[in-house]
Chain A
Amino acid sequence: MALNPYETPRGKMRARAEATRRQFLMIMGGLAAAGASLFGGIEVLKFMFPQASGNAPALFKTSFTFAALTGGVVSGKAVTPVNVLSETDKRVTVVLDDAGIYAVYLVCTHLGCTPNYVTDVTTGSGVAPTVAEARGVRTASQRLPNGWACPCHGSRYFIDSTNFYGPAPRPMDWVNIEVTPDGFFAVDRGTLVATRGPGDNTPPPWRLLVSTQKSNGKTYGV
């Protein structure tokens, strides 16, 4: 179609040429508007995802010391056989049992609330207290039916984070801990050392050893 201004079509041809030019501009304008909307929309979406989040750091130092948890170490064994100390606002609990120390990330696997520490976790659940004792803080001398109960929808967990009641689909995850040079625990909520799927009731083997203050490296499911 001749659009050369020095060769202006006449009559019917002129009308067609004009219509074509109008259509061309409509298409170009439409494409420009669509393109601007598309890329503008993408940028608006990116605007809502900040480059740096205001999240609390994954790594933090506990307010309690290694000595406070263990009661001191005598010939490679903790003086206190069983202990549970928690940083509830940071959603981590540190548990000491006969095999060593581990940290559970207290985020209910159902919908993310923080479960509460309870001393008799089987109450009203229909589960025999002996089951909880068997799965409680594992020492030869002391087996406690303590655990975690979620206040939101009533999920219950044994102390090793294994779920046994309520809507929680799987056990809570374990996170990495180290002993800092000044004797506290450095908890890294970004590094999982044991994660279990639905129905996996195996107690994870990972421990921070009391004697060496080093991890045994036995990660589970990660």
Chain B
Amino acid sequence: MSATPDQANPVRAFVAQLWGSVFRHGLPTNDKVAARTALTNFFLHIHPVRVKKSAVRVSYTLCLGGLSFFLFILLTITGLFLMFYYIPSVDTAYQNVSDLQFVAVFGDIIRNMHRWAAHAMVITVWLHMARVFYQGAYKPPREFNWVIGTFLLLITLLLSFSGYLLPWDQLAIWAITVGTNMAKYAPIVGPYTRYLLLGGDQVAQGALIRFYVLHVIALPLVGFLLMVVHFWRVRKDGFTGGL
């Protein structure tokens, strides 16, 4: 369906050119066009051009990595909405979260989507890791991607932990008190780690802003970069195929 410029109608010619500049190929009619369509589209090129039939069985991967990524996208979008209302200040944070639930239209749904997607992402990432492990998909040539995956697990858990503090209710404050005191038990670096996380000795304003910055910028950015490499390696190494 590659557009041919229609000299007679300049409007149609313009639309055709515009469409053709974005979508370089029409819908695939044979394998060759399908391969080119995948290769020339930024979003499709992440997916392998050729996949073994056995590897696309849903029962093989259970789509756990894809689900984790889907939840990450969902969390990014819902998190963006939450940021319109949330101010990381000890005086306002709890009230902002209440406003989100009771004042903002659909705010309650957005907040709960963020919350449940966060819980679900931790679960799917664990299950994804377990799936990869039990199928031996971490073995060469995929050992580098396994290591990136472990860092992505760490990022996921840190995102979960840092988001825990932000509602600034009693559960949040004491959970972070407990969590950072656990960090303090590490030899030598423990007390410094705790101070670094809290920006002080108590869970107070310094801790809230640090956790906020980690939660909304630092950790998602690092996670995104690692994900780019993770998917690129999946693309290059291919799927493991049937057992």
Contacts and interface: CB of A to CB of B under 8 A. Distances in A.
A112 B177 contact: yes
B195 A55 contact: no
A49 interface: yes
Given A111-B182, A113-B177, A53 B200 contact: yes
Interface stretch (B22-30, B202-210, B235-243): B202-210
B178 A53 contact: no
B163 interface: no
Given A112-B177, A113-B174, A152-B174, A48 B196 contact: yes
14 contacts: A49-B195, A53-B199, A55-B201, A55-B202, A55-B204, A56-B204, A111-B178, A111-B181, A111-B182, A112-B177, A113-B177, A113-B178, A152-B174, A152-B178
Interface string A104-144: 00000001110000000000000000000000000000000
Given A53-B201, A54-B199, A54-B200, A112 B178 contact: yes
Contacts, number: 37
A112 B206 contact: no
The 9 closest A-B pairs by CB, nearest first: A111-B181, A111-B178, A112-B181, A53-B200, A55-B200, A54-B206, A112-B177, A55-B201, A113-B174
Nearest to A52: B200
Interface string B185-219: 00000001001100111101110000000000000
Of residues B178, B182, B204, which shows the largest number of chain A Cβ atoms within 10 Å of its Cβ?
B178
Interface string A31-59: 00000000000000000111001111000
Interface of A: 48-50, 53-56, 111-113, 151-153
Contacts of A111: 177-178, 181-182
B116 to A, nearest CB: 25
B205 A54 contact: yes
Contacts of B201: 53, 55
A108 to B, nearest CB: 9
Contacts of A113: 174, 177-178
Given A48-B196, A111-B181, A112-B181, A53 B174 contact: no
Contacts of B181: 111-112
B159 to A, nearest CB: 19
Interface string B152-177: 00000000000000000000001001
Nearest to B194: A112
B208 to A, nearest CB: 11
A125 B11 CA distance: 83
A49 B191 CA distance: 12
Contacts of B174: 113, 151-152
Contact of B202 (A48, A50, A56): A56
Given A48-B196, A49-B195, A49-B196, A54 B178 contact: no
A144 to B, nearest CB: 27
A157 to B, nearest CB: 17
